[in-house]
């Protein structure tokens, strides 16, 4: 079967995300099976209507998510771990330590931001949080990554803290955060039922902030980030057993 027949030209939105979504969908549908070689970058770029640079970016994210493997001089293949067990391979070892460091930082910064938001959020802040959560829910229900909505939610939590330095901290880390969120969401998208669970984690943070529960909001944010890190580092073998 020519896998490229199932690909649709990408227009608008963040193009690498749209490429990821289509390739993950082909994996889920069984049109790309474990061990299958993906079409060449040039062919993917032509079928999707994007540049080879966009395709390359998407493949890097998929590799970091453990969904594909690149073999030097041979091409890119669907990870063998995506077998009958439905398991996902862990990301490459070189990416794992950076993820641990980044999430340790995020748990400290964003956990406190959530606690302060619960104490200080006004009506406008809660409305912004609810809107971001609604967008994320809609993206997930449509089978999309929802990276921008996810990031907007976390930025809205920082803004609701009333501390401009917390907002500035997230803005400084934008590239790192978007990268980690994209990898995390690509990995989640490949496991049926997991994207909805991730939305539930965000909803728990929102509800604790809206309730004015500082300790609960801090814990809900830390729980979410710890679960996200576990999903990134460890194989997710049984979709019914995935934690978080």
**CATH code of the domain in which 72 resides:** 1.10.10.10
**134 is in which domain, residue-wise?**
93-233
If asked whether residues 124 and 7 sit together in one domain, one would say: no
pLDDT of res. 89:
67
If asked whether residues 101 and 221 sit together in one domain, one would say: yes
If asked whether residues 181 and 72 sit together in one domain, one would say: no
Of 26, 44, 78, at which residue does a domain stop? 78
Average pLDDT value for residue range 52-72? 91
Candidate from 3-12, 106-115, 158-167 with smallest mean pLDDT? 3-12
- Reported as a single tens digit per residue, the pLDDT across 222-232 is 999 999 998 88
- Reported as a single tens digit per residue, the pLDDT across 171-224 is 999 888 888 889 888 888 888 888 999 999 999 999 999 999 999 999 999 999
Q: Max alpha carbon distance in the chain (Å)?
A: 57
Domain of 190: which CATH number? 1.20.120.530
In the structure, what pLDDT confidence band is assigned to residue 96 with cuts at 50, 70 and 90? Answer: confident
Q: Is 226 part of a structural domain of the chain?
A: yes
| Percent of the chain whose predicted confidence (pLDDT) is above 70 | 85
Q: Is 86 part of a structural domain of the chain?
A: no
Give the count of domains, the chain: 2
If asked whether residues 112 and 214 sit together in one domain, one would say: yes
Model pTM score: 0.82
Helix 147-160, helix 194-210: angle, nearest 10:
20
Average pLDDT value for residue range 66-79? 89
């Amino acid at each position: 079967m020519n896998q490229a027949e199932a690909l649709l030209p990408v227009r608008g939105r963040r193009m690498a995300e749209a490429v990821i979504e289509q390739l993950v969908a082909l994996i889920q549908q069984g049109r790309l099976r474990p061990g299958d070689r993906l079409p060449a970058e040039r062919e993917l770029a032509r079928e999707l209507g994007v540049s080879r640079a966009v395709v390359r970016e998407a493949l890097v994210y998929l590799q970091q998510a453990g969904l594909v493997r690149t073999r030097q001089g041979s091409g890119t293949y669907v990870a063998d771990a995506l077998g009958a067990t439905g398991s996902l391979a862990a990301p490459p070892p070189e990416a794992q330590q950076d993820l641990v460091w980044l999430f340790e930082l995020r748990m400290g910064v964003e956990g406190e931001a959530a606690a302060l938001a619960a104490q200080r959020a006004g009506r406008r802040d809660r409305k912004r949080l609810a809107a971001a959560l609604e967008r994320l829910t809609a993206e997930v229900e449509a089978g999309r990554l929802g990276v921008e909505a996810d990031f907007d939610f976390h930025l809205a939590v920082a803004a609701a803290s009333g501390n401009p330095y917390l907002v500035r901290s997230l803005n400084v880390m934008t590239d790192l955060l978007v990268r980690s969120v994209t990898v995390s969401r690509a990995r989640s998208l490949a496991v049926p039922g997991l994207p909805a669970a991730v939305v539930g984690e965000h909803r728990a943070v929102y509800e604790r902030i809206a309730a004015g529960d500082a300790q609960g909001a801090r814990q809900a944010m830390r729980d979410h980030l710890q679960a996200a890190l576990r999903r990134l580092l460890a194989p997710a073998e049984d979709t019914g057993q995935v934690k978080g």
